[in-house]
């Protein structure tokens, strides 16, 4: 503080202005939480916390609202998207770092980053007009005929394949988050010191064994960070999912069924909620989502920071 | 750099000032959107006043006008007088239309499939699962129906069209009344939700073997295949101007109750069973605004009938229009 | 089969799968872009830019109001968000370098970059729409600015930190105050990086839909009045794609095509500039 007071006038003014600018980050975060809490207070007082989270009903007529269905959809789409995206992204990262000839590295790297730059509404539109019909006509019936009769797994593929369901939404989400995991993993893989890899080769390891036993364990903190970051992104994704999810508040075991996520519920119902408790419940959902994604992104950041420290040794 | 920044900021202020032509903002029901938009387009050409109507569903219309974030709200589900008192709103009907069932069954053309209250109820409750079920076959003996699962489509948003539809179902079907009930948004037993009449029409268009309910203009404009319905007199009728008018003919709108009325299951041998009016909601205290809104609807009452008919909406009968003009006069909101 | 061959085969299968994954990623990209191109290019015509929307069911008309609205909202958001972001990034990279405050702001900014944009929409609705009684272009711009600030702050911080400290020391040695050092030496050195960071941030918010849904809302008419609801390209794509009318779908594809092409070109060019300038 004393350091600042000794600065010449121009410096002091500039320092204060730029300090205030940097302070906006804190202001934004705190005011968001405050405003959201304020708006949800009606719903919080009526439904409480645990009750709201575990109630499946979302009934505007009877004015009973619960987050369970939206949370379920959010959870399933995110988990499913990750399970598809993680192996694919790591594969992409492995390809880019260890397999690809040098001249291909930049173009393919740029191509992957272009996937990240495409606005989510484009994904949504493409999903509705192109992917959903393909899913409904070919892929989902195929999945049903292969898995439909197996006792437990069959439940996952019950119902009429409409193409507008959890499965399609998860696939689109997985395409969207792949670039995040892929580029962070690629960057982490690249930070493995050559000398460690060379020692492994010298001991007779195959290329794959070097990747599996040296590179991946070395970079695992960075990769975790990338995965959790993608998780945080997937949680908050609205437009890509809104077109193809079917907007139905239910908890269903079948992936071929419509569902709802917090983001899609907000997008569909926010301008239409006609009672105060309805709107307040929507704000409550927004608050829960904000805190949830903030926490997860903080965990991601934690991993990434640890990875940085680890690499700088 | 500095000059560039100042230029940008200056032009920013200029942009706010220019082009501030008169705009009236409305929001609400998707049911009348095609006709309101067509009227607004003509009104703009004639007067230069823009009626910016956003179709976000009747629930949204009610919400927005309650919060006074728009100049008028539109809802197919009329608010009862107590609610109008509570939220300090005026209400009057602007147009009459019909809700139709639309299907997407390869080989079945518009107006071929017959349905009645029982079958529609069964489909939407999830009891009737296949297109070739006994009950459907019974009333369509000559049609070749496929053994395919029925994909049910309903609304995902707060909808007056839903309110009209579920009101109809509650009246013709005890089961529905007890299990689900009527309202702008209900707990649908089966099906996926589309946003707005537009969303439902979109889904029915692209999903084979689906069924949905939409306002007739949407079925017509998108060449969806509507069904015939059995009305309260026991006849299977087609959705068209005459059957909608027949339903409207027996409607008794009472200005003292702010025109609160449901038109479903109207009596009459030629009446369409799922007809309804769409209502305009105004904030009581915004007198000047209300006059401007009513000027538009007064214009529509005088000059918009042809356009409405073209889109297969039923313009309000002359006596009703007079009742509405008197209502305006009584509350001091005449244009 | 001896162990060595087994290991080799296992390895090759794994590597093959990885290559397959990479090409799958490429496949999706090409598929999506090709699809957008295919659908969008047929609906592309001059009318799209010069005319306003026709009522539903009436063919013709264009998206002039949406293009102009998108431009206005993005510009205002940039005017608000960029200075805040650059100044904030400057503070934590310069005056507060190494302090706990800088670290906290940096970490929190990173988190805010990925926060759900629809939540931002609800926040701005509660703050700038409900109390004022109407939707507005200003609210939409504010929502986008909210998203922009952390993005610009972080890229500015990164770019400033890349400037070697010795450069500053040389200027200090000549007797300049910190403010002069930043203004004349550091900014100049980091200019390309900061500018590309700003451009990337603009590309990012230009594609956002969710935060505009309940802030700038929508307007079927052409207007430049930011005090009213105003049309935007992204929300229009959302409404048109969800609707049943064929010509709405065509227009949505055309708009999607334009947005995608512009954003992709801008993003790739910016990243290439950074790569060329800073990583060789």
Residues 164-223 of A with CB under 8 A from B: 164-165
The answer to whether residues C201 and C106 touch, using CB atoms and an 8 Å cutoff, is no
Residue B218 has which token pair?
């949407």
Distance from CA of A137 to the nearest CA of B (A): 10
pLDDT average, residue stretch A289-311: 88
Residue B331 has which token pair?
């509350």
The answer to whether residues B210 and B203 touch, using CB atoms and an 8 Å cutoff, is yes
Q: Report d(CA C242, CA B194) in Å as an integer.
A: 8
Q: Report d(CA C222, CA C64) in Å as an integer.
A: 7
Q: Is the pLDDT of residue A274 over 50?
A: yes
Q: Say if residue B315 is exposed, middle or buried (CB neighbours under 10 Å; 0-12, 13-18, 19+).
A: buried
Which residues lie across from B55 on neighbouring strands? B28
Nearest to B39 by CA among B309, B335, B334: B309
Partner residue opposite C260 with nearest CB, options A31, A118, A293: A118
The answer to whether residues C212 and C119 touch, using CB atoms and an 8 Å cutoff, is no
Q: Which of C53, C54, C56, C139 to mutate to test the interface with B (most CBs of B within 10 A)?
A: C56
Looking only at the bridges linking them, the beta strands covering B192-194 and B236-237 are: unpaired
Residue A261 has which token pair?
């996520």
Give the largest Cα separation in chain C, rounded.
Answer: 78
* Neighbour tally for A62: CB within 10 Å: 11
The CATH class given to the A47-312 domain equals mainly alpha
ipTM surpasses 0.85: yes
Q: Report d(CA C69, CA C144) in Å as an integer.
A: 13
The answer to whether residues B175 and B125 touch, using CB atoms and an 8 Å cutoff, is yes
| pLDDT score at B199 | 87
| pLDDT score at B82 | 93
The band of B60, judged by pLDDT with boundaries at 50, 70 and 90, is confident
Q: Is the pLDDT of residue C45 over 90?
A: no
- Per-domain residue ranges for chain A? 47-312
The answer to whether residues A230 and B165 touch, using CB atoms and an 8 Å cutoff, is no
pLDDT average, residue stretch C215-244: 88
**Residue in C closest to B12 by C-alpha:** C76
Q: Distance of alpha carbon C126 from its chain centroid, rounded?
A: 24
Residue A65 has which token pair?
């609202």
| pLDDT score at A313 | 56
Nearest to B155 by CA among A292, A269, C67: A269
- Per-domain residue ranges for chain C? 3-43, 49-277
Residues 125-164 of A with CB under 8 A from C: 125-126, 128-130
Q: Report d(CA C69, CA C231) in Å as an integer.
A: 5
| pLDDT score at B4 | 56
Q: Is the pLDDT of residue C205 over 60?
A: yes
pLDDT average, residue stretch A83-109: 89
The DSSP output letter for A120 is: H
Helix, strand, coil in percent for chain B, rounding step 5 = 45, 20, 35
pLDDT digit string, tens, across residues B29-48: 888 998 999 999 999 989 98
**Residue in B closest to A243 by C-alpha:** B194
pLDDT digit string, tens, across residues A12-34: 889 899 999 999 999 999 999 99
The CATH class given to the C49-277 domain equals mainly alpha
The band of A5, judged by pLDDT with boundaries at 50, 70 and 90, is low
| pLDDT score at A38 | 94
Look at C18 and A89 and tell me if their CB atoms are within 8 Å: no
Which residues lie across from B225 on neighbouring strands? B103
pLDDT digit string, tens, across residues A104-132: 888 888 888 888 889 999 999 999 889 98
Question: Which residues in chain A have their CB less than 8 angstroms from residue B181's CB?
Answer: 61
**Residue in B closest to C230 by C-alpha:** B52
Look at A283 and C126 and tell me if their CB atoms are within 8 Å: yes
The band of A4, judged by pLDDT with boundaries at 50, 70 and 90, is low
Look at B188 and A268 and tell me if their CB atoms are within 8 Å: no
pLDDT average, residue stretch B304-312: 89
Q: Say if residue A296 is exposed, middle or buried (CB neighbours under 10 Å; 0-12, 13-18, 19+).
A: buried
Q: What's the pTM?
A: 0.87
What string of H, E and C letters represents the secondary structure of chain C? CCHHHHHHHHHHHHHHHHHHHHHHHHHHHHHHHHHHHHHHHHHCCHHHHHCCECCCCCCCECCHHHHHHHHHHHHHHHHHHHHHHHHHHHHHHCCCCCCHHHHHHHHHHHHHHCCCHHHHHHHHHHHHHCCCCCCCHHHHHHHHHHHHHHHHHHHHHHHHHHCCHHHHHHHHHCCCCHHHHHHHHHHHHHHHHHHHHHHHHHHHHHCCCHHHHCCCCCCCCCCCCCCCCCCCHHHHHHHHHHCCCHHHHHHHHHHHHHHHHHHHHHHHHHHHHHHHHHCC
pLDDT digit string, tens, across residues B247-294: 888 888 998 999 999 988 888 889 999 999 999 999 999 999 999 999
Q: Is the pLDDT of residue A151 over 70?
A: yes
Q: What is the mean pLDDT of chain C?
A: 89
Distance from CA of A26 to the nearest CA of B (A): 26
Phi, psi of A23 (to 5 degrees): -70, -20
| pLDDT score at A243 | 87
| C257 interfaces chain B, CB cutoff of 8 Å | no
Partner residue opposite C244 with nearest CB, options B37, B205, B311: B205
HSE of B36 in the Cβ direction (CA atoms, 13 Å)? 31
Distance from CA of A136 to the nearest CA of B (A): 8
The band of C87, judged by pLDDT with boundaries at 50, 70 and 90, is very high
pLDDT average, residue stretch A68-94: 92
Q: Is the pLDDT of residue B203 over 60?
A: yes
Rounded (5°) CA angle C83-C84-C90:
85
DSSP of B270-305, one letter per residue?
A: T--SSEEEEEEEEETT-HHHHHHHHHHHHHHHHH-H
Q: Report d(CA C233, CA B271) in Å as an integer.
A: 43
Look at A236 and C118 and tell me if their CB atoms are within 8 Å: yes
Q: What is the mean pLDDT of chain A?
A: 88
Overall residue count recorded for chain A in this entry: 313
Q: Report d(CA B331, CA B282) in Å as an integer.
A: 11
Q: Is the pLDDT of residue B7 over 60?
A: no
| pLDDT score at A34 | 96
Which residues lie across from B155 on neighbouring strands? B194
Look at B184 and A246 and tell me if their CB atoms are within 8 Å: no
The band of A286, judged by pLDDT with boundaries at 50, 70 and 90, is very high
Q: How many helices (H) and strands (E) does chain B have?
A: 14, 12
Nearest to B328 by CA among B293, B300, B303: B293
Q: Report d(CA A135, CA A159) in Å as an integer.
A: 14
Residue A63 falls in which region: left (phi positive, over 0), alpha (psi -120 to 50) or beta: left
Residue B58 has which token pair?
């009747």
Distance from CA of C237 to the nearest CA of A (A): 8
Question: Which residues in chain B have their CB less than 8 angstroms from residue A247's CB?
Answer: 156, 192-195
pLDDT average, residue stretch C113-121: 93
| B141 interfaces chain C, CB cutoff of 8 Å | no
| A288 interfaces chain C, CB cutoff of 8 Å | no
Question: Which residues in chain B have their CB less than 8 angstroms from residue C225's CB?
Answer: 16, 19-20, 23
Residue B264 has which token pair?
């479903």
Q: Say whether A275 sits in a helix, a strand or coil.
A: coil
Residue C73 has which token pair?
């909202």
Nearest to B114 by CA among B127, B103, B98, B125: B103
Percent of chain A with pLDDT over 70: 97
Look at B199 and C55 and tell me if their CB atoms are within 8 Å: no
The answer to whether residues B217 and C57 touch, using CB atoms and an 8 Å cutoff, is yes
Place of tokens 């309260």: B232
Which of B16-25, B123-132, B316-325 is the least confident region? B16-25
Question: Which residues in chain C have their CB less than 8 angstroms from residue B20's CB?
Answer: 225
| pLDDT score at B13 | 46
Phi, psi of B81 (to 5 degrees): -55, -35
Q: Is the pLDDT of residue B212 over 90?
A: yes
Distance from CA of C55 to the nearest CA of B (A): 5
Percent of chain B with pLDDT over 70: 94
| pLDDT score at A45 | 92
Q: Report d(CA A136, CA A269) in Å as an integer.
A: 26
Q: Say whether B235 sits in a helix, a strand or coil.
A: coil
| pLDDT score at C60 | 80
The band of B20, judged by pLDDT with boundaries at 50, 70 and 90, is very low
| pLDDT score at B16 | 41
pLDDT digit string, tens, across residues C260-270: 989 988 888 88
Look at A114 and C267 and tell me if their CB atoms are within 8 Å: yes
pLDDT average, residue stretch B140-149: 90
pLDDT average, residue stretch C230-259: 88
């Amino acid at each position: 503080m004393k350091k600042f007071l000794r600065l010449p006038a121009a410096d002091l003014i500039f320092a204060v202005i730029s300090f205030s600018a940097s302070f906006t980050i804190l202001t934004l975060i705190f005011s968001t939480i405050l405003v959201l809490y304020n708006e949800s207070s009606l719903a919080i007082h009526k439904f409480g916390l645990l009750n709201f989270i575990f109630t499946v009903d979302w009934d505007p007529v009877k004015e009973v609202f619960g987050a369970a269905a939206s949370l379920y959809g959010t959870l399933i789409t995110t988990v499913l998207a990750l399970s598809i995206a993680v192996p694919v992204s790591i594969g992409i990262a492995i390809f880019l770092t260890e397999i690809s000839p040098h001249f291909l590295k930049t173009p393919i790297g740029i191509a992957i980053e272009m996937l990240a730059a495409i606005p989510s509404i484009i994904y949504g539109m493409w999903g509705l007009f192109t992917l959903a019909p393909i899913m409904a006509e070919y892929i989902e019936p195929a999945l049903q005929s292969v898995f439909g009769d197996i006792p437990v797994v069959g439940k996952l593929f019950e119902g009429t394949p409409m193409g507008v369901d959890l499965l399609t939404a998860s696939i689109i989400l997985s395409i969207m988050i792949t670039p995040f995991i892929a580029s962070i993993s690629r960057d982490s893989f690249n930070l493995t010191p050559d000398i460690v890899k060379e020692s492994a080769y010298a001991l007779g390891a195959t290329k794959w064994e070097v990747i599996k036993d040296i590179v991946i364990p070395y970079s695992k903190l960075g990769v975790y960070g990338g995965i959790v970051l993608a998780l945080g992104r997937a949680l908050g994704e609205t437009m890509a999912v809104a077109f193809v999810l079917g907007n139905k508040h239910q908890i269903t075991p079948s992936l071929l069924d419509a569902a709802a996520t917090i983001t899609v519920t907000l997008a569909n119902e926010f301008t239409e909620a006609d009672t105060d408790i309805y709107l307040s419940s929507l704000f409550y959902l927004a608050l829960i989502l904000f805190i949830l994604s903030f926490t997860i992104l903080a965990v991601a950041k934690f991993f990434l920071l640890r990875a940085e420290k680890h690499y700088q040794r | 750099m500095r000059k560039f920044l100042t230029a940008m900021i200056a032009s920013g202020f200029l942009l706010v000032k220019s082009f501030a032509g008169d705009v009236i903002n409305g929001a609400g029901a998707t049911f009348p959107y095609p006709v309101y938009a067509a009227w607004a387009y003509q009104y703009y050409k004639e007067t230069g006043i823009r009626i910016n109507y956003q179709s976000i569903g009747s629930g949204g219309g009610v919400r927005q006008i309650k919060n006074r974030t728009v100049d008028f709200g539109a809802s197919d589900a009329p608010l009862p007088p107590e609610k109008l008192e509570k939220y300090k709103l005026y209400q009057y009907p602007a147009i009459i239309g019909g809700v139709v069932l639309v299907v997407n069954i390869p080989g079945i053309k518009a107006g071929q499939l017959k349905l009645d209250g029982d079958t529609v109820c069964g489909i939407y409750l999830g009891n009737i699962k296949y297109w070739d079920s006994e009950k459907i076959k019974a009333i369509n003996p000559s049609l070749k129906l496929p053994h395919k699962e029925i994909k049910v489509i309903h609304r995902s948003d707060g909808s007056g069209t839903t309110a009209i539809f579920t009101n109809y179902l509650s009246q013709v079907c005890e089961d529905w009344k007890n299990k689900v009930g009527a309202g702008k948004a209900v707990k649908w037993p089966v099906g996926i939700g589309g946003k707005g009449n537009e969303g439902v029409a979109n889904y029915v268009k692209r999903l084979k073997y689906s069924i949905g309910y939409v306002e007739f203009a949407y079925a017509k404009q998108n060449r969806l295949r509507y069904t015939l319905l059995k009305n309260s007199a026991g006849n299977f009728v087609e959705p068209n101007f005459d059957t909608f008018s027949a339903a409207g003919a027996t409607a008794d709108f009472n200005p003292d109750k702010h025109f609160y009325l449901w038109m479903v299951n109207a009596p009459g041998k030629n009446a369409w069973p799922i007809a309804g009016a769409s209502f305009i909601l105004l904030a009581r205290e915004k007198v000047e605004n209300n006059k401007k809104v009513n000027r538009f609807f007064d214009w529509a009452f005088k000059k918009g009938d042809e356009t409405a008919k073209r889109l297969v909406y039923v313009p309000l009968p002359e006596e009703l229009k007079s009742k509405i003009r008197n209502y305006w006069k009584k509350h001091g909101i005449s244009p | 089969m001896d162990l060595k061959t087994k290991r080799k085969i296992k390895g090759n299968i794994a590597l093959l799968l990885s290559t397959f994954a990479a090409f799958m990623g490429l496949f999706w990209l090409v598929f999506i872009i090709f699809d957008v191109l295919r659908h969008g290019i047929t609906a592309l015509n001059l009318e799209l830019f010069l005319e306003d929307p026709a009522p539903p069911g009436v063919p013709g008309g264009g998206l002039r109001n949406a293009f102009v609205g998108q431009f206005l909202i993005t510009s205002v958001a940039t005017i608000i968000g960029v200075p805040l972001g650059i100044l904030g990034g400057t503070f934590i990279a310069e005056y507060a370098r190494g302090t706990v405050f800088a670290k906290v702001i940096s970490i929190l900014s990173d988190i805010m970059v990925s926060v759900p944009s629809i939540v931002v929409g609800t926040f701005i609705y509660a703050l700038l729409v409900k109390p004022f009684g109407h939707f507005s272009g200003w609210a939409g711009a504010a929502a986008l600015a909210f998203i922009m600030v952390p993005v610009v702050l972080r890229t500015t911080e990164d770019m400033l930190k890349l400037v070697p400290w010795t450069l500053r020391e040389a200027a200090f040695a000549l007797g300049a105050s910190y403010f002069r050092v930043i203004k004349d030496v550091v900014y100049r050195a980091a200019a390309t990086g900061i500018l590309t960071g700003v451009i990337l941030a603009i590309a990012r918010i230009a594609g956002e839909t969710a935060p505009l849904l309940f802030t700038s809302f929508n307007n079927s008419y052409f207007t430049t009045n930011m005090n009213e609801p105003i049309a935007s390209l992204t929300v229009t794509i959302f409404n048109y794609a969800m609707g049943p009318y064929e010509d709405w779908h065509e227009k949505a594809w055309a708009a999607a095509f334009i947005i995608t092409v512009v954003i992709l070109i801008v993003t790739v060019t910016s990243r290439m500039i950074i790569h060329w300038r800073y990583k060789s």
